[in-house]
Amino acid sequence: MLRIVKPKTKRAKRELEKRAPKLEENVKKLLLLHGTSVSSVVKAVISDIYHLKKTGRNAIKLTRKNDNVRPFESGGETSLEFLSQKTDCSLFAFGSHSKKRPHNLVLGRMYDYHVYDLIEVGIDQYKSIASLGGGRKLAPQEGSKPCFVFVGEAFEAKEQFKQLKEIILDLFRGEVVETVNLVGLDRVFVCVAAADKVLLRHCGIRLMKSGSKVPAIELVEVGPSLDLTIRRNRLPSGDLKKEAMKTPFKTTKKKVKNVSGDSFAGKVGRIYVPRQEVEGMALTKMKGLKRERREAAIWRSGDGNGMKSPRDHKLLQHKKQRIDKYS
């Protein structure tokens, strides 16, 4: 029987709610790790990828050697799936180095904390961010969105290149949004397919003065710069791909009457108030108001002696009182 884990604290409850299935999934997190034997080049590539992903806290880097992680081997992915579930990561990058496969980098995706697909690339040429000065010139801003350019027919014709294209998009695209501010487009990834290689360049977008409203755009290579050779790959099975691509039915929210939204993502309500008969309400009457009403009633009845208003009648009465007093 499956054991249902119930949270004992509020913090554990929040973590389980974050990992629960949703109609709109969270940003995919990346797990970076390496095996027992790794070269300095692969370590530097992993560090640069972590530098690009850590701005949004969407990457976790493990520094210890992992003996049991062996992709493309039976039983060698159990430890990788355990680490993926523990860290809640749906992407991973595993680095290794051997005589048969030097400077090796395995990129893959997870579905339900199980390996979905894998692709293995070899690093032929590499330029780090530090060597190109990208960390000082144009560092990625918090929440910025990169552009992607894929040059070559192989990205649409060959399965290996199509798979690598999808993984690169999932790796660096960040959060999925509906609208993007042009100021937030500060980077571009250029991928060129040449024979069995992929040339990956990371450039920063610099806006220059052009004498008009539209600025001139200049691309500055900021790194990392990679020349990758595709070695091995493993595509998902048809049933697994069908299950992973299944989109849940989105239930339309029932419209609530007299409730709308504003520009600040808040709620604005409209309340219906019936008309109130204030004239017929029983209120506490003051003595002064009683005298004025009585005088107004006398004036309306025609006893005002031709006065135009109750005020004139009042002044006349006051004048008569003074005459009677001194007479």
**95-124 pLDDT tens trace:** 999 999 999 999 999 988 889 999 999 999
Residues comprising the chain, all counted: 327
Mean pLDDT of 73-94: 88
Q: How many CB atoms within 10 Å of residue 132?
A: 19
Within 13 Å and on the Cβ side, how many CA atoms surround 307? Answer: 20
Among all chains, which residue has been given the structure tokens 């999932």?
170
Distances (CA, A) of 184 to 79, 136, 150, 219: 38, 18, 21, 15
pLDDT at 84 over 80: yes
pLDDT at 301 over 80: no
Whether the pTM exceeds 0.75: the reply is no
pLDDT at 1 over 60: no
Q: Where are the chain's structural domains? A: 27-244
pLDDT at 160 over 60: yes
Rounded distance between C-alpha atoms, residue 33 and residue 160, angstroms = 23
- Tell me which of 120 and 290 has the higher pLDDT: 120
Rounded distance between C-alpha atoms, residue 148 and residue 82, angstroms = 32
Q: What is the pLDDT of residue 34?
A: 92
AA identity, residue 173: R
DSSP state letter for 109: E
pLDDT at 48 over 70: yes
Q: Which CATH superfamily is domain 27-244 in?
A: Brix domain (3.40.50.10480)
Q: What is the pLDDT of residue 280?
A: 74
pLDDT at 43 over 60: yes
Lowest mean pLDDT, pick from 35-49, 157-171, 235-249: 235-249
Sequential DSSP letters for 10-55:
HHHHHHHHHHS--SS--PPPEEEEE-SS--HHHHHHHHHHHHHHGG
Rounded distance between C-alpha atoms, residue 30 and residue 61, angstroms = 8
- Please state, for a pLDDT cut of 70, what percent of the chain lies above it: 81
Exposed/middle/buried for 223, CB within 10 Å: 0-12, 13-18, 19+? buried
Q: What is the pLDDT of residue 138?
A: 62
- Which residues 6+ apart lie within 8 Å of 108 measured at CB? 71, 91, 92, 94, 115, 116, 117, 118, 119, 167
Q: What is the pLDDT of residue 325?
A: 60
